[in-house]
A and B are shown apart, each in its own frame.
Chain A
């Protein structure tokens, strides 16, 4: 995530960051917690324990406990002995934190990346979403809620492919 990544980290913090940044999302395995912006901060305390802050995409996201488990495992295997994973809510996660690279990864994987924020407000009307397979703009929403809380289900009218859309929040 851009803001966290720009902060200058000590060598040890960087080592810990590098050990956890590639932990994949269990539901969207092409994205890492760093790509998603779920990984907010990694800090090695003076007593050697590592404090990791993560933020949920959705408040009830069931992947959070999986993230915490994988983060702990990654740090332990990198030689750190104690790990404390904290969940922080502020600032609230937004799809705007997804990097261009992450959006491209999603598209290649078959998930339409989130549109801009503006379309979210409308109470009625559908967002225009491009098919990640054939790039057609002629798609329709099947369900606002897809296989996970963060996705909606769409279908392409041109190539008939059903696909997930990573919702804008």
Chain B
């Protein structure tokens, strides 16, 4: 049973990284200026790296011969277990920045804590990923402040993004039996144990950005059970097209 839980846990993390990297990759050639284009795709690249490691490891745990490509490109929408937050569309640059900020503010303490996991693979990946997450957080936090503390237009847009995305943040802190069984084995991280760190980062940055933290209310969930917003299917179709058309295609 532990192997099943660990497989599921790794797949969730892998899906988070893969879907968010695909979203960020959509900015390639479209960001506000060249440096930002490079920044967003650099973050996407780090996330692809995390996803590849996690899919490969999950495939080994499963032991059915599925490799990273099979797991990323040959599963359907309902089999993806990513957070709803990361699949939300790029509608506006402010949305992409706020999505990254809310996610990175969680992932930095998450990877830091994961460095002491009893699972050597996860601990090893965490030691690399936390360094990268530091930059992802700093980059997105600076943008949140710049937009929030900028013009009336930029303030309104980042504020809209915050209000829209807020209901997807609760899912990061959910702890079902998959997580709790692995927490008991000191393999996984209890997300509530890092909630105060996320709160602290979010509060500090929102204050500096002249933004008001939304009041706690109903949170939308479902991603971990494969229940997604309408956006995921539209991400998967361009993402999986090549592997579906040419199975076994190699990079």
Contacts and interface: CB of A to CB of B under 8 A. Distances in A.
Interface of A: 56, 58-62, 65, 88-94, 120-121, 123-124, 142-147, 149, 153, 167, 169
Nearest to A65: B251
B38 A143 contact: yes
Interface stretch (B5-13, B125-133, B162-170, B178-186): B125-133
B48 interface: yes
Given A90-B120, A123-B138, A123-B201, A59 B125 contact: yes
A121 B138 CA distance: 10
B157 interface: no
A145 to B, nearest CB: 4
Nearest to B205: A123
A90 B121 CA distance: 8
B48 A60 contact: yes
Contacts, number: 85
Contacts of B52: 59-60
Nearest to B142: A124
Given A145-B39, A169-B132, A91 B127 contact: yes
Given A58-B132, A60-B50, A89 B139 contact: no
Given A58-B132, A59-B128, A145 B42 contact: yes
What are the nearest 5 A-B pairs in CB distance? A60-B49, A59-B49, A92-B127, A143-B35, A90-B124
Contacts of A93: 128
A162 to B, nearest CB: 11
Nearest to A95: B131
Nearest to A122: B138
Contact of B39 (A90, A92, A143): A143
Given A58-B45, A59-B132, A147-B38, A89 B53 contact: yes
Nearest to A148: B42
B26 to A, nearest CB: 17
Interface of B, secondary structure class, is helix
B123 A145 contact: no
A89 B43 contact: no
Contacts of B53: 59, 89
Interface of B: 35-36, 38-39, 42-43, 45-50, 52-53, 120-121, 123-125, 127-129, 131-132, 134-135, 137-139, 141-142, 201, 204-205, 251
Contact of A59 (B36, B39, B50, B201): B50
B248 to A, nearest CB: 18
27 contacts: A59-B46, A59-B50, A59-B52, A59-B125, A59-B132, A60-B46, A60-B48, A60-B52, A61-B49, A65-B251, A89-B127, A90-B124, A91-B124, A92-B124, A94-B131, A123-B137, A123-B201, A124-B141, A124-B142, A143-B38, A145-B38, A145-B42, A145-B139, A146-B38, A147-B38, A153-B35, A169-B131
B45 to A, nearest CB: 4
A126 to B, nearest CB: 10
A120 B39 CA distance: 17
Given A60-B47, A124-B141, A144-B139, 19 more contacts: A58-B132, A60-B48, A88-B124, A91-B127, A92-B124, A92-B131, A94-B131, A123-B137, A123-B201, A123-B205, A124-B142, A142-B35, A143-B39, A144-B138, A144-B142, A145-B35, A145-B39, A149-B45, A169-B132
A149 B39 CA distance: 9
B141 A123 contact: yes
A167 B137 contact: no
Which residue, A61, A65, A123, A153, has most C-beta atoms of chain B within 10 A? A123
